[in-house]
Amino acid sequence: MTARTVPVATPSENETGETAPGTGWFHAALPLAASVLLVSMVAHFRVPLLADIGRELAMSASSLGLVATVFAIGRLALDLPVGRLADRIDPLKLLAFAAAAMGVSSLGLAFAPSAAWVLWSSLLLGMASATGNTTGMTALSGSAPPARRGSAMALYSGALLGGQALGPAVSGAVASLGTWRTAAFVATGLGLAVGVATAAWRRRTGHVPLRRNTKQGAGDDVAELTPLQRGALYGVCFSVFFTLGAMPQTLVPLLGAIDHGLRTATIGLAIGIGGSARMLGAAISGAVSDRVSRRAALLPALALQAAGVALLAVGGSAAVWLAAIILMSLGSSGNAVAATMLGDRTHGARLGRTLGRYRFWGDIGLVVGPALTAFVYDRAGVGPAVGLVSGVLIMCAVAAAVVVPETYGRGSRAVAGQEMT
């Protein structure tokens, strides 16, 4: 049997297939990155509100874990369909729809009279989130030349994580001035405004859509990843999302409120600091993956995230709690690096479907992580819950280290440099 191959593009090839310095995609990508940031911001308004929602609606820790779980189920339902749509439709059109849907879903949360209503609103928020996230990842990764793909994924991650930093911080501040329902109403207005603004930008005179780099160019061929290798990368996404759902979106806010007596605004600010650390981690990982190798960025990131999770078991002061958030956030950049590695070995015309499957496995982790970790925390406490999450991370990191080859290292750049001359 002969391995399927995909052609390698040179780093000088832009989204039209013409020779360029490798930056032709960047300016067209900025409006899309801004939309990703704002959609992500609205999606994460709910995170610091969990403790207040639980107190008002008499929801236990396990029930609050279900809020993140049904959010992930909503994402899971649309990852694959949106991946197919992202291969065909202008990304700004999909992002405008996602933002408007976020606004409507947030309105449902603001009026929630019961736990069931909160769960339905979270489900719809998750569906809108899948539309925005898969669209943004596909468009930004697919438009960049291979030598800039790590930077493109860093731009996507920076926008996504910037929203995850701003959303909880703004939401917590608004809730401290009013209630958690006030914050949900603000999310409603913001989502609708972003949807209208994105649609207007797309329709403006002179708008040039971000084009997919479907023509990969001439050059040496490289083998596509085997199913086992792709599975190991899907496992990375699963473990990172499992951790994000279980820790920053569920257990971290509860520990802040219960163990450290922190207010909603303070918890939101801490999660926002974590989001800023995720932006820094994404920028560093993007640079390392482009300039050194993909594996040199991936494996240390996963180890760092596992260390942050383990630090929560130490307990102690709120400073240790915050340090754990920062370490987990810095290490979460492994998700973007794994997606970059998939992009290295996937033809541009199939990229949306491939990344849709990648995010699908990640969202399975986002479904399982919060519910399972909250259940273990309710029954056995912090230590076993932290051990569960750390174990998942370590297992998937070892699998990636053993199975996944380097997809764009020094040898690839040397070949690209010869082609450019």
**Above 50 in pLDDT, residue 76?**
yes
Q: Would you give the DSSP letter of residue 12?
A: T
- Determine how many CB atoms are found less than 10 A away from the CB of residue 55: 11
* In the chain, % of residues over pLDDT 90: 24
Q: Tell me the pLDDT band of 275, cut-offs 50, 70 and 90.
A: confident
> According to the model, what pLDDT value does residue 25 have?
64
Q: 346 with 224: CB under 8 angstroms?
A: yes
Per DSSP, the residues of 243-290 read HHHHIIIIIHHHHHHHTS---HHHHHHHHHHHHHHHHHHHHHHHHHHH
Give the Cα separation of 336 and 326 in Å (integer).
17
Tokens 């859509």 -> residue: 209
Distances 44 to 12, 157, 385, 386 between C-alpha atoms, Å: 37, 15, 23, 23
The values of phi and psi at residue 145, to 5°, are -70, 160
Whether domain 25-213+224-420 has CATH 1.10.760.10: no
Distances 335 to 14, 84, 189, 237, 272 between C-alpha atoms, Å: 24, 21, 31, 5, 19
Arithmetic mean of pLDDT, 283-300: 88
Give the Cα separation of 264 and 34 in Å (integer).
27
> According to the model, what pLDDT value does residue 208 have?
60
First-to-last alpha carbon distance for the chain, in angstroms, is 35
> According to the model, what pLDDT value does residue 202 have?
80
Using only C-alpha atoms, what is the Rg of the chain?
21
Arithmetic mean of pLDDT, 394-420: 71
> According to the model, what pLDDT value does residue 348 have?
64
Q: 302 with 396: CB under 8 angstroms?
A: yes
How confident is the model over 3-44, as pLDDT tens digits? 444 444 333 333 333 333 344 567 767 778 888 888 889 988
How confident is the model over 351-370, as pLDDT tens digits? 778 888 898 898 888 788 88
Supply 189's token pair.
């207005």
Longest dimension (CA), the chain: 67
Give the Cα separation of 368 and 66 in Å (integer).
10
Helices (H), 292-317: 294-312
> According to the model, what pLDDT value does residue 221 have?
53
Give the Cα separation of 93 and 185 in Å (integer).
24
How confident is the model over 200-242, as pLDDT tens digits? 888 875 666 666 554 443 234 556 788 899 999 999 999 998 9
**Above 90 in pLDDT, residue 291?**
no
Q: 292 with 300: CB under 8 angstroms?
A: no
- State whether the Cα torsion 132-141-168-374 is positive or negative: positive
Question: Which of 54-68, 145-159, 176-190 is the most confident on average?
Answer: 176-190
Give the Cα separation of 143 and 152 in Å (integer).
8
Which pTM does this prediction carry?
0.71
For 396, half-sphere exposure in the C-beta direction (CA atoms, 13 angstrom radius) is 31
Give the Cα separation of 286 and 266 in Å (integer).
30
Q: Which of 395, 77, 68, 64 is nearest to 241 (CA)?
A: 68
Every domain of the chain and the residues it spans: 25-213+224-420
Helices (H), 10-114: 24-43, 50-57, 61-86, 91-110
Q: Which of 207, 236, 209, 200 is nearest to 335 (CA)?
A: 236
> According to the model, what pLDDT value does residue 6 have?
43
